[in-house]
Protein backbone atom coordinates (compact mmCIF):
# COMPACT_ATOMS: atom_id res chain seq x y z
CA UNK A 1 0.00 0.00 0.00
CA UNK A 2 1.27 3.40 -0.92
CA UNK A 3 2.14 5.63 2.04
CA UNK A 4 0.50 8.92 1.26
CA UNK A 5 1.90 10.70 4.31
CA UNK A 6 3.66 13.93 3.42
CA UNK A 7 7.00 14.63 5.04
CA UNK A 8 7.46 18.38 5.23
CA UNK A 9 10.77 20.07 6.02
CA UNK A 10 11.84 19.46 9.62
CA UNK A 11 12.27 23.16 10.42
CA UNK A 12 8.82 24.06 9.19
CA UNK A 13 6.71 21.04 10.06
CA UNK A 14 5.44 22.48 13.35
CA UNK A 15 4.64 25.90 11.92
CA UNK A 16 2.55 24.51 9.06
CA UNK A 17 -0.32 23.54 11.33
CA UNK A 18 -0.53 26.95 12.98
CA UNK A 19 -3.82 28.65 12.25
CA UNK A 20 -3.94 31.41 14.84
CA UNK A 21 -1.88 34.43 13.66
CA UNK A 22 -0.81 35.11 17.26
CA UNK A 23 1.18 31.88 17.27
CA UNK A 24 3.74 33.31 14.83
CA UNK A 25 5.56 36.59 14.88
CA UNK A 26 5.41 38.85 11.83
CA UNK A 27 8.90 37.82 10.71
CA UNK A 28 8.04 34.13 11.15
CA UNK A 29 4.91 34.56 9.03
CA UNK A 30 6.89 36.27 6.28
CA UNK A 31 9.53 33.55 6.39
CA UNK A 32 6.88 30.84 6.29
CA UNK A 33 5.19 32.39 3.26
CA UNK A 34 8.55 32.60 1.48
CA UNK A 35 9.26 28.96 2.26
CA UNK A 36 5.80 27.85 1.09
CA UNK A 37 6.44 29.60 -2.23
CA UNK A 38 9.62 27.57 -2.76
CA UNK A 39 8.75 24.16 -1.25
CA UNK A 40 5.90 22.20 -2.83
CA UNK A 41 5.81 19.50 -0.12
CA UNK A 42 5.39 22.04 2.66
CA UNK A 43 2.90 23.97 0.55
CA UNK A 44 0.82 20.80 0.07
CA UNK A 45 1.04 19.95 3.78
CA UNK A 46 0.04 23.52 4.64
CA UNK A 47 -2.90 23.34 2.25
CA UNK A 48 -3.96 20.04 3.84
CA UNK A 49 -3.92 21.70 7.25
CA UNK A 50 -6.04 24.53 5.93
CA UNK A 51 -8.57 22.08 4.47
CA UNK A 52 -8.76 20.22 7.78
CA UNK A 53 -9.20 23.50 9.64
CA UNK A 54 -11.99 24.48 7.25
CA UNK A 55 -13.71 21.10 7.60
CA UNK A 56 -13.58 21.08 11.39
CA UNK A 57 -14.52 24.74 11.82
CA UNK A 58 -17.47 24.39 9.43
CA UNK A 59 -19.17 21.80 11.63
CA UNK A 60 -22.57 23.13 12.70
CA UNK A 61 -22.83 24.43 16.26
CA UNK A 62 -24.73 22.34 18.79
CA UNK A 63 -27.89 23.88 20.19
CA UNK A 64 -26.96 24.66 23.79
CA UNK A 65 -28.79 24.22 27.06
CA UNK A 66 -31.71 26.60 27.46
CA UNK A 67 -30.54 28.21 30.67
CA UNK A 68 -28.46 27.84 33.76
CA UNK A 69 -29.65 24.97 35.99
CA UNK A 70 -30.21 27.05 39.11
CA UNK A 71 -31.45 24.16 41.20
CA UNK A 72 -28.24 22.25 40.46
CA UNK A 73 -26.17 25.28 41.38
CA UNK A 74 -28.17 25.50 44.59
CA UNK A 75 -27.32 21.86 45.24
CA UNK A 76 -23.68 22.63 44.58
CA UNK A 77 -23.91 25.55 46.96
CA UNK A 78 -25.58 23.41 49.55
CA UNK A 79 -22.85 20.83 49.33
CA UNK A 80 -20.29 23.56 50.02
CA UNK A 81 -22.36 24.64 53.01
CA UNK A 82 -22.47 21.06 54.15
CA UNK A 83 -18.68 20.89 53.94
CA UNK A 84 -18.41 24.09 55.89
CA UNK A 85 -20.85 22.72 58.43
CA UNK A 86 -18.72 19.60 58.87
CA UNK A 87 -15.65 21.81 59.33
CA UNK A 88 -17.49 23.86 61.97
CA UNK A 89 -18.68 20.69 63.67
CA UNK A 90 -15.15 19.28 63.74
CA UNK A 91 -13.71 22.49 65.15
CA UNK A 92 -16.41 22.56 67.84
CA UNK A 93 -15.65 18.92 68.67
CA UNK A 94 -11.98 19.82 69.00
CA UNK A 95 -12.88 22.76 71.23
CA UNK A 96 -15.05 20.49 73.34
CA UNK A 97 -12.30 17.89 73.55
CA UNK A 98 -9.90 20.60 74.61
CA UNK A 99 -12.23 21.48 77.45
CA UNK A 100 -12.31 17.86 78.64
CA UNK A 101 -10.06 16.58 81.42
CA UNK A 102 -6.57 15.49 80.54
CA UNK A 103 -7.33 11.82 81.04
CA UNK A 104 -9.22 11.81 77.74
CA UNK A 105 -7.75 14.62 75.81
CA UNK A 106 -4.18 15.07 77.03
CA UNK A 107 -4.89 18.75 77.49
CA UNK A 108 -4.39 20.42 80.85
CA UNK A 109 -7.26 19.89 83.17
CA UNK A 110 -8.87 22.71 85.03
CA UNK A 111 -9.17 22.43 88.78
CA UNK A 112 -12.07 20.19 89.69
CA UNK A 113 -13.40 18.79 92.87
CA UNK A 114 -15.03 15.62 93.95
CA UNK A 115 -18.05 15.58 96.18
CA UNK A 116 -18.53 12.58 98.30
CA UNK A 117 -21.71 10.89 99.36
CA UNK A 118 -22.48 7.50 100.54
CA UNK A 119 -22.67 5.74 97.22
CA UNK A 120 -20.81 7.63 94.56
CA UNK A 121 -18.21 10.19 93.76
CA UNK A 122 -19.14 13.05 91.52
CA UNK A 123 -16.63 15.21 89.80
CA UNK A 124 -17.93 18.70 89.25
CA UNK A 125 -16.49 21.78 87.69
CA UNK A 126 -16.06 25.09 89.49
CA UNK A 127 -19.66 26.07 88.93
CA UNK A 128 -20.94 22.81 90.30
CA UNK A 129 -21.77 21.31 86.90
CA UNK A 130 -21.62 17.55 87.05
CA UNK A 131 -18.74 16.29 84.96
CA UNK A 132 -18.37 12.74 86.16
CA UNK A 133 -19.82 10.45 88.71
CA UNK A 134 -18.45 7.19 89.92
CA UNK A 135 -19.69 4.42 92.11
CA UNK A 136 -18.05 4.33 95.45
CA UNK A 137 -15.17 1.96 95.16
CA UNK A 138 -11.54 1.64 95.88
CA UNK A 139 -10.60 4.91 94.24
CA UNK A 140 -7.81 6.34 96.28
CA UNK A 141 -7.14 10.04 96.52
CA UNK A 142 -3.78 10.90 97.91
CA UNK A 143 -4.63 14.51 98.52
CA UNK A 144 -8.09 15.19 99.76
CA UNK A 145 -9.09 18.56 101.06
CA UNK A 146 -12.47 19.34 102.60
CA UNK A 147 -13.79 22.85 102.43
CA UNK A 148 -17.34 23.84 103.31
CA UNK A 149 -18.38 20.21 103.25
CA UNK A 150 -16.95 19.64 99.77
CA UNK A 151 -14.02 17.37 99.12
CA UNK A 152 -11.40 18.75 96.77
CA UNK A 153 -8.76 16.77 94.94
CA UNK A 154 -5.75 17.88 92.98
CA UNK A 155 -5.91 17.80 89.19
CA UNK A 156 -3.52 14.88 89.22
CA UNK A 157 -5.83 12.84 91.42
CA UNK A 158 -8.75 13.82 89.28
CA UNK A 159 -6.90 12.40 86.28
CA UNK A 160 -6.24 9.17 88.12
CA UNK A 161 -9.89 9.08 89.04
CA UNK A 162 -10.96 9.51 85.48
CA UNK A 163 -8.55 6.92 84.18
CA UNK A 164 -9.68 4.45 86.78
CA UNK A 165 -13.34 5.05 86.04
CA UNK A 166 -13.07 3.77 82.44
CA UNK A 167 -15.74 6.19 81.38
CA UNK A 168 -16.92 6.44 77.84
CA UNK A 169 -18.58 9.45 76.30
CA UNK A 170 -22.20 9.38 75.10
CA UNK A 171 -23.32 12.65 73.62
CA UNK A 172 -22.46 15.43 76.00
CA UNK A 173 -22.45 13.25 79.09
CA UNK A 174 -20.53 10.21 80.17
CA UNK A 175 -21.97 6.91 81.23
CA UNK A 176 -20.59 3.79 82.80
CA UNK A 177 -19.05 1.30 80.56
Partner 1 sequence: MSIPARDPALSTLPTETVWFVEVVGDAQAGSITAFNTLFEYYNPRICTYLARMVGNDEEGRDLAQETFIKVWRALPRMNDQLHFDTWLYRIATNTAIDHLRRRKFPWPLWKSFAEQEAFGPVITAGPEEQVEEAELVKLALAQLSPQYRACLLLQHVEGFTQHEIASALSLSEKSISIYINRGCEQFRQAYKHLTSGKDATKDPTKRRRSTQ
Identity of the residue, 17 or 103, whose beta carbon is nearer to partner 1 in the bound complex? 17
Q: Return contacts of 147-156, CB within 8 angstroms, 24+ apart.
A: 150/113, 150/115, 151/113, 151/114, 151/115, 151/116, 152/113, 152/114, 153/112, 153/113, 153/114, 155/102, 155/108, 155/109, 155/110, 155/111, 155/112
* Residue numbers 74-113 binding partner 1 by CB under 8 A: 76-77, 79-80
Q: Does 73 interact with partner 1 (rule: CB under 8 A)?
A: yes
| Distance of closest approach, residue 73 Cβ to partner 1, in angstroms | 5
Name which position in 1, 27, 40, 60 contacts partner 1 (CB under 8 A). Answer: 60
Helix (H) / strand (E) element for 115: namely strand 113-116
Q: How many other CB atoms are found less than 10 A from the CB of residue 133? A: 20
Beta bridge partners of 124: 113, 130
| Distance of closest approach, residue 33 Cβ to partner 1, in angstroms | 19
Q: Return contacts of 14-21, CB within 8 angstroms, 24+ apart.
A: 16/42, 16/45, 16/46, 16/49, 17/49, 19/49, 19/50, 19/53
Part of the chain binding partner 1 (CB under 8 A), chosen from 34-42, 50-58, 103-111, 131-139: 50-58
Q: Does 57 interact with partner 1 (rule: CB under 8 A)?
A: yes
Q: Does 52 interact with partner 1 (rule: CB under 8 A)?
A: yes
Identity of the residue, 81 or 137, whose beta carbon is nearer to partner 1 in the bound complex? 81
Q: Is the CB of residue 116 less than 8 Å from the CB of residue 145?
A: no
Q: Does 14 interact with partner 1 (rule: CB under 8 A)?
A: yes
Name which position in 1, 2, 10, 20 contacts partner 1 (CB under 8 A). Answer: 20
| Distance of closest approach, residue 63 Cβ to partner 1, in angstroms | 8
| Distance of closest approach, residue 108 Cβ to partner 1, in angstroms | 38
Binding site for partner 1 (CB under 8 A): 4-5, 13-14, 16-20, 22-23, 48-49, 52-53, 55-65, 68-70, 72-73, 76-77, 79-80
Amino acid sequence: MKNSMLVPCVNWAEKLAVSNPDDLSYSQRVALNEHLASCSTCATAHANHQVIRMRISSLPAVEPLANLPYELLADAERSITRKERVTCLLSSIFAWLKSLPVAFTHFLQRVDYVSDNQYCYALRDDSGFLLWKYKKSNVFFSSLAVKDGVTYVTPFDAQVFLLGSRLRPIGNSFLWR
